Structure 1
Amino acid sequence: MEKLVFILFMGLYAAVFSESKNAVAPEIHKKQIEITKELTKVDSLYQSMNLKDVVNYKAFKEAMEGYQLLPAKNKDILSIIDFTLASTEKRLIVLDIKNEKVLFHSLVSHGKNSGSNYATSFSNTPESYQSSLGFYVTENTYQGENGYSLVLNGLEEGFNDKAKSRAVVVHGADYVNTGIVSALGRLGRSYGCPALPRELSKPIINTIKDGTLLFIYADNEEYFAKSKVLNHRNALMAHYEKDMADRQFGTLN
């Protein structure tokens, strides 16, 4: 008799669980569709702005992940630095997302201890003289040792949140030009700042200052694995699934 009761109980539990799972599935599927639509918009924007020969798709996609998630005073402008490229190539792109235009495409330096022609090592540590990956929001401008400069506030703990204390800023530099490339086979390097050509530094700084997002990208496994910004969507989806399941079981109990 006890065995029969146990079998009946397990059958009832399986039926309830199945009902719960079936009820939750459409909601989860709906959320997955919403995320897919957002990614489709990214693809469409990449094509409509003719970015294929300007910035690699993965860098743009990851930049748009943060752009959609992070708050910023001015969401019309988005800047991307792609450190998978050599310093001899134009690695900075400034985009007008609102009007779907490329505003600037420029050379940009990396930190002296990040690598020679390619930036391959990154750090958030003071005095490391390395570049830092991740998302930043631009702040105020000032006149400093390197002339007209732009303060950067790193938004990612452990990756770039010490940018301000390290004085990692956007500024112009004489070592960022094609003449240096011809002489050295690479750009000159900074103490960690994304330094620009002198002739472009002021117009670029004036375009991106006061609350726009800047994303510094590299093919870096540690960053991809640990960035809370880039992993937010997966974490959100997992949390959403759990929440939906908990709520469904709650209604059945």
Structure 2
Amino acid sequence: MLKPRTLLLAAAALLPATPGLATRKAGEPAAVRFSPPVAAATLPASPLARLAPGADPKVLDLAQAAMQCAQASGVGASARRLAVIDYSRPSLLPRLWVFDLTAGKLLYEEVVAHGQGSGDNLATRFSNRDGSHQSSLGLFVTADTYTGKNGYSLRMQGLEPGVNDAAMARAIVMHGAPYVDAAQGKRMGRLGRSWGCPAVRNAVAKPMIDLLKGGQFVFSYYPDQAWLARSALLNCPAARRQHDALVHHDTAARPASG
């Protein structure tokens, strides 16, 4: 298995520098709003959408496109599993889906916590900055596991410069947490929150982490227009080829009219 630094360098060779997503300071001009990439916005429903009807099919397609692009650069080429987090959904609703890509199965549909600095029940702010306690967007490739203050945890290497590439330094990891409790969350009006980590229920943490460790993918989404428009992983030739292949497959699978 490649070392995390080697993985990042391989991905970074494809990716231009991308502005960070930290919240702007008082007095700074508002960020320019960009439209999402046309190809990504018009992706047809993928097989993953049929496995997870509760998920937004466009988010699943974006995750697959980003993964395809990373694999074209040699990162996670043998990955068999993909986790997709949709931070546009409230914390009390399931917004984490884990897929076995080889078997074509949905393995988990779960709630997941976001960072304290990202919001309450709804996450609206994201950052790559240490100390922000905010979640990060974009594509991650998983690394090794360890047992720390949050128990069994999974290290993740961010693949998008300026967006999530500080994940290792910030110790943004997947782990279990007692505050990821739906019953308690209903009383509070939100799940408990992390310091930026995608924390899951203790009951599923270890088996989920064991499925995702060692070169699998995690994709975190929010409709941040600047990120969607500028992310090289969502706009690279490999992602466009994935889009074209999906269109061709769907067209070929349709019965002839008449």
TM-score for both structures, normalised by structure 1: 0.73
Cα RMSD for the two superposed structures:
2.1
- In the TM superposition, what whole-angstrom CA distance separates every residue of 1:141-194 from its partner, at most 9, and x where no partner exists? 001000000001000001000000001000010100112212201100000000
Q: Tell me: higher relative CO, structure 1 or 2? Use CA pairs within 8 A at least 6 residues apart.
A: 2
Contact 1:73/1:210, CA 8 A, preserved across alignment: no
Q: Quote the Cα distance in structure 1 between the aligned partners of 2:239 and 2:150.
A: 41
Q: Distance in 2 between matches of 1:74 and 1:181?
A: 37
Percent identity between the two aligned chains: 40
User: 1:236: how far off?
Assistant: 7.8
- Contact in 2 for aligned 1:74/1:210 (Cα 8 Å): no
Correspondence for 2:165 among 140, 150, 161: 161
Q: Give the Cα–Cα distance (whole angstroms) in 2 for the partners of residues 61 and 86 of structure 1.
A: 20
Pick aligned residue for 2:178 from 159, 174, 178: 174
Please tell me whether residue 124 in structure 1 is matched to residue 125 in structure 2: no
SS class of match (1:79): strand
Match of 1:87 in 2: 91
Q: TM-score, normalised by structure 2?
A: 0.72
* Bigger Rg, which one: 1
How many residue pairs align between the two structures?
Answer: 197
Q: Which amino acid aligns with 1:51?
A: A
Q: Per-residue displacement from partner, 1:27-67 (whole Å, max 9, x unpaired)?
A: xxxxxxxxx9xx98x635145x43222x1011101001012
| Higher relative helix content | 1
Q: Distance in 1 between matches of 2:200 and 2:78?
A: 22
Structure 2 unmatched runs, 5+: 1-38, 242-258
Contact residue 46 and residue 61 of structure 2 kept, 8 A: no
- Residue 73 (structure 1) shift: 5.0
- Bigger CA drift: 74-83 or 159-168? 74-83
Q: Which runs of 5+ in 1 are unaligned?
A: 1-35, 238-253
Instruction: Give the whole-Å Cα distance in 2 for the aligned partners of 1:44 and 1:234.
Output: 16
Q: Runs (4+) of structure 1 moved beyond 3 Å?
A: 233-237
**Which deviations, in whole Å up to 9, do the C-alpha atoms of 1:61-112 show, x marking residues without a partner?**
1001012111205421111000111000111100011111000111100000
